[in-house]
Amino acid sequence: MTIIKKYRILIFSALAALFLLCNTALSQDNLKDGINAVKKGDYLKALPLLKTAVESGNSYDANYYYSYALFKTGSLSDAEKFARAAVGIDDERPEAYSVMGEIFSEQKKYSDAESNFETAVKYLPLNKTKDDLTPEEIKTIVDVLSRQAENYIAEGKADKIDKAITSLSIAKTYDNNNPILLTGLGDAYRTRGAFEVALSNYNAAIKANSTFAEAYYGIGMIAFKQKKYNDALDNFTKAITADPNFAEAYYEQGLILYLSDKLDQALDAFTKYSTLKPGSTLGLIFYAKTQLALGKLDDAMTLIDKVLSTEPNNSEANKVKAAIYIEKKDFQNAQTYYDKVKPGDLNSEDQMNIGKIYTNLKDFPKAYEHFQSAIKMDTTDDNAYFEYAKAQFSNQEYEASIVNFNKAIDLGLGQRNVGVYVYKGISYYYMKDYDNAIPQFQKCLDSNPSGNISALCYLWIGNTYAAMGGKRQEAIDAYKKCLEFDANNQDAKDGIQRLGGQ
């Protein structure tokens, strides 16, 4: 071999070694930066950094943190893949088992989740006292036991809540004032319905760390459950202020805005949620629901078909598609898509929607069954009583409908939907109880409703006075007021003409 050839080989070898060294250094930098991003909750930033680190070497930390970032951004199947890869590298570390537990819990596979958490706990150094552990070991204990507790809480059974409290109590012996554990206890008691105890723990978490977003989120969830929507929205906003990457707070914020008919703001919140969790379809589904609420049925259908093209068995997506068909008055197709939903995934809103389907199909016994199921699921849901009453109204069971209209009003529906007074007034009208009918229409008018609703109220006031006899002028005046809000209302014009008015 010539000297020149030897020289070239040496140069090539040196360059290769230098390239490998630089690549390794870059990989380590990406891993370090990616881990820091995860710890700060910036999972979108962490993803590309950790992906590079995973591709550059067979590292437990790279695979574990990458799986966790994927989980937090909604890519559950990929998250499971890399968590399993981490276990394959080292099967005696708890972190990867823990994230697999979270993945299965998110998928409502609670037994699989519990099994993984039990394995994770087995590898925690719980045989040591607090003084014998490093801060990192204590952090791992807190993380694993708090995540295990959240799985128990998500399952929701009484004995599981007890297990959650036990897990959190064990963790507190290592870090008594940790806001993660205090918030976990808040979650456990909130799920049990012990709101005062839950609030005490959430407030203790905030006292320990005034910027702990999850505690504000928990307080918001209690307020939401109590229908204190302004308080809930305020606390979800505080959670977002404390952690702008807290995706779930945007989702709940969007949900309240959606329920409050602030639909443009709801779209913004769901868009932010989808941005932070690009692997999840939940934001897209609620974006579609919001478009549906805006009356943009075709846009909603396009969005939901996009979800169903990849997840045909997604219960939430099938429910939205059914709701779109309800709005399109295609009740047979609506029922077809509700049939695709697992019974355990039906909530009170779905039971109401199915009740509407059967109401429109004139199958009132089945409709009533579903409205009763909705009420059983949430006895404080004023809208469930309202929809039940409307079905009874459609079936000309006016006395029964008034009972349920009253329940809806007692629960506060009249503050949001004055249409309940119109229905109640018309029910009295058809029962020929005219003296009780007119005050209902007047209650509606007292709330300064929209022009169309005002026109409807005055129309029925006119009809009621006309039916009473001896109230000719009052009826004509009411019909004229109706025309002030709806100049083309033919029923009001016919009423005036029938009574000989001008």
pLDDT category of residue 8 using cuts at 50, 70 and 90 = low
Section 468-490 average pLDDT: 94
Structure tokens at 442: 């007047």
What is the overall mean pLDDT for the chain?
Answer: 91
Distances in whole angstroms, Cα of residue 138 to Cα of each of 37, 67, 169, 170: 20, 22, 14, 12
Predicted confidence at residue 9, as pLDDT, reads 53
CA contacts within 13 A on the Cβ side of 225: 15
Residue 53 lies in a domain: yes
Residue 474 lies in a domain: yes
Per residue in 351-370, pLDDT tens? 999 999 999 999 999 999 99
The residue ranking higher by pLDDT, 143 or 15, is: 143
The last residue of a domain, from among 40, 75, 91: 91
Per residue in 45-85, pLDDT tens? 999 999 999 988 779 999 999 999 999 999 999 999 999 99
Per residue in 208-255, pLDDT tens? 999 999 999 999 999 999 989 999 999 999 999 999 999 999 999 998
State the CATH number of the domain containing residue 47.
Answer: 1.25.40.10
Residue 479 lies in a domain: yes
Predicted confidence at residue 414, as pLDDT, reads 87
The last residue of a domain, from among 41, 62, 91: 91
Please say whether the dihedral angle defined by the alpha carbons of residues 224, 225, 226 and 227, taken in this order, is positive or negative. Answer: positive
Predicted confidence at residue 6, as pLDDT, reads 52
Picking from 7-11, 62-66, 181-185, which range would have the lowest pLDDT averaged per residue? 7-11
Q: Are 183 and 205 in contact (CB under 8 A)?
A: yes
Structure tokens at 59: 């590292």
Structure tokens at 410: 């007692």
The rounded distance, in Å, linking the Cα atoms of 21 and 345 is 53
Predicted confidence at residue 1, as pLDDT, reads 52
Q: Around Cβ 90, how many Cβ atoms within 10 Å?
A: 15
| Total residues belonging to the chain | 502
pLDDT category of residue 398 using cuts at 50, 70 and 90 = very high
Residue 48 lies in a domain: yes
Residue 385 in this model has a pLDDT that exceeds 50:
yes
Q: Around Cβ 407, how many Cβ atoms within 10 Å?
A: 18
Residue 353 sits at the vertex; the CA angle it makes with 349 and 356, to the nearest 5 degrees, is 140
Q: Are 374 and 358 in contact (CB under 8 A)?
A: no
Predicted confidence at residue 227, as pLDDT, reads 84
pLDDT category of residue 19 using cuts at 50, 70 and 90 = very low
Q: Which domain holds residue 484?
A: 436-502
Q: Terminal CA-to-CA distance of the chain, rounded, Å?
A: 118
Residue 495 lies in a domain: yes
The last residue of a domain, from among 91, 117, 136: 91
Residue 219 lies in a domain: no
Number of domains in the chain: 2
Residue 45 lies in a domain: yes
The residue ranking higher by pLDDT, 240 or 15, is: 240
Section 330-348 average pLDDT: 92
Residue 305 lies in a domain: no
Residue 5 in this model has a pLDDT that exceeds 60:
no
